[in-house]
Structure 1
């Protein structure tokens, strides 16, 4: 989208757009985002600020007194707030921590600036005068806005930084000059996501030209963190509510078809609470922390089936299946094992349980062979996440485990 400003407003658009062009030359992977911003002149803005709809509000006086080289850095700084979704993240932090008032939003703006400014300048991009960095606050580089906001209070900083205002696109608090969602030239949510995706593509296409912070951001755009506990609960609920799960014939209420067959009583299909069997990988490759996490997941699974713990059984398994344990309290479960891994024995033992399960949930690190045939019930696999740099078996770096079968719903845990 090409930014336009009405003539005669007093804003030196030639100087402003020359700075944007310099920013594009210094950071070509940000070109899509920089040209997506729509410029709005505003004498209410101290310097330059953005809103969440990808408008950039510009002070004519600020443009007139700032060198083009520094203006290029301001362009990159402001669009970085929008690409990194600082407005939505600030709203989330405010809700979670009960932060209210303009002072707290200023603190979030400063924390967001620290996330951007620790590695955005240099290599052809001049740091603007007054740019706040983590070092200026005595903090470490390379952290996120959510981390920085915990580590400082305004106090004596307020006098030095009260002027700072990157707009509602940085901290989520609407400004008097904002045009709002119904104003002209704002980007829709789909258009904003499209811009982020194009920038992430440009960064991953030439990763050596981007800083570590931008590479981390691009990776999260392509592979966003999963809300794994919600996903696991949703997977279990979906499996237990699917056709055939928890359904059985009962003579407690005769079928309506019996009326067509005098003297014959037909059973009706009745829905009963679904039964869940949880197979926990207790082999030596699973850490104590992961086993502790598995116990938390067992409690979450019980909640996903309506709190009926009597319908949930737990089966520890390494190379051999252990005893099936009814779920009374997650803390009372005994997770024995520590040997090799073959969860096929766990599947077989779970399916032999009577009454049989409607859903089998497997919590594992994935270092196991899987059944050759699809079980007669739904299957959910919770995989413990592992760092990408770690080998699966220290004594065999060439080993890679088989992926879970296609018939299983897979959720990454952690």
Structure 2
């Protein structure tokens, strides 16, 4: 234990922005663990034999490696990938599904562990942190550095590595598949979801507070923690549907349908209150950094918006905007909208023109 904790102090010294995460791990001694492993509840399972035969500096690198799995949420991402792709495994039955064989689950576990290690190991070592013996790198398969775990899983089969790396096991913290030695969610010394999120935020805060000290992969991760990507298609669709079908009293009188109160006033035709569908003005970024595929996706969204407002194309207009806003073009057919641009990016003028174009 003394050697293990000394290695953690060395890891904190050379990677101070990871200190909050390293000290949040609770050590559990277990001789059935191949080396060191973590579970999703921030427990670190350690083999005494592995600690005894590993140099202290390399042991510090293993500390950083294992906590990187947890900070980057490899367990949650691994579970989502298995559900979405139903990887068949070597036995031909969905390794991530209910009918998976033990061999299929082991193959999926090892494959995800290797891909997660590829994401971590390409830039966390050096500068006082030597690479531990046996650390796997993307270059083993001729793959580029800097990709995410999901990208490595999609682009490489890894079947040639699984036989040589059968010993590799970083625990459920690396892939989301529980191991026999793990204590589980009800075990002692586990962190709650709120505590885990707080640790991630403190680490991201430390990386953002000292720009330039952390590798590119960690800076990219910290940006995602502070500004997580939003499901903009769902948010946009919900906003349009809420505006088009919101309950409540209408604002326009219409004689197309008589008011129900007309029955109480014989001989008098009373108008009813009707809700008008919203007018929508879409600002499309047409700067030089936007690809043709992205512009095509934007036009598909414009067509979906016109359907959401009841097919009233006269209620939808489009503004092309790069560094300056174009003219608001009424919608006839989405595929015929002229998208003019190709310069820099400043969407403020586009939003200003959209606000001025309201009736």
How many angstroms does 1:121 deviate by? 0.9
Judge which range, 278-287 or 234-243, deviates more: 278-287
Question: Distance between the aligned counterparts of 2:60 and 2:85, measured in 1?
Answer: 35
How many angstroms does 1:158 deviate by? 1.9
CA distance 1:276–1:154, change in 2 (3 Å):
same
Question: Distance between the aligned counterparts of 1:181 and 1:139, measured in 2?
Answer: 36
8 A contact 1:23–1:72 mirrored in 2: yes
Question: Distance between the aligned counterparts of 2:246 and 2:166, measured in 1?
Answer: 56
What's the TM-score once normalised by structure 2's chain length? Answer: 0.81
Judge which range, 99-108 or 249-258, deviates more: 249-258
Return the match for 2:259 from 254, 261, 270.
254
1:368 equivalenced with 2:356 (yes/no): no
SS of 1:125's partner is coil
Return the match for 2:47 from 59, 69, 72.
59
Question: Distance between the aligned counterparts of 1:48 and 1:287, measured in 2?
Answer: 45
Query: 1:68-83 counterparts in 2 under 5 A?
Result: 68-83=56-71
8 A contact 1:200–1:218 mirrored in 2: yes
What's the TM-score once normalised by structure 1's chain length? Answer: 0.71
Return the match for 2:109 from 105, 122, 129.
105
User: Any unmatched runs of 5+ in structure 2?
Assistant: 88-94, 96-104, 321-325
How many angstroms does 1:141 deviate by? 1.3
User: Any unmatched runs of 5+ in structure 1?
Assistant: 1-12, 342-363, 378-414
Aligned residue pairs, count: 334
How many angstroms does 1:178 deviate by? 2.0
RMSD: 3.2
CA distance 1:180–1:258, change in 2 (3 Å):
farther
Question: Distance between the aligned counterparts of 1:267 and 1:132, measured in 2?
Answer: 75
Partner of residue 91, structure 2: none
Return the match for 2:299 from 295, 309, 333.
295
SS of 2:163's partner is helix
Return the match for 1:320 from 313, 327, 332.
327
8 A contact 1:313–1:326 mirrored in 2: no
Higher relative contact order (Cα pairs below 8 Å, separated by 6+ residues)? 2
How many angstroms does 1:303 deviate by? 5.9
SS of 1:208's partner is coil
CA distance 1:49–1:278, change in 2 (3 Å):
same
Return the match for 1:277 from 277, 280, 287.
280
Question: Distance between the aligned counterparts of 1:183 and 1:244, measured in 2?
Answer: 51
How many angstroms does 1:230 deviate by? 1.8
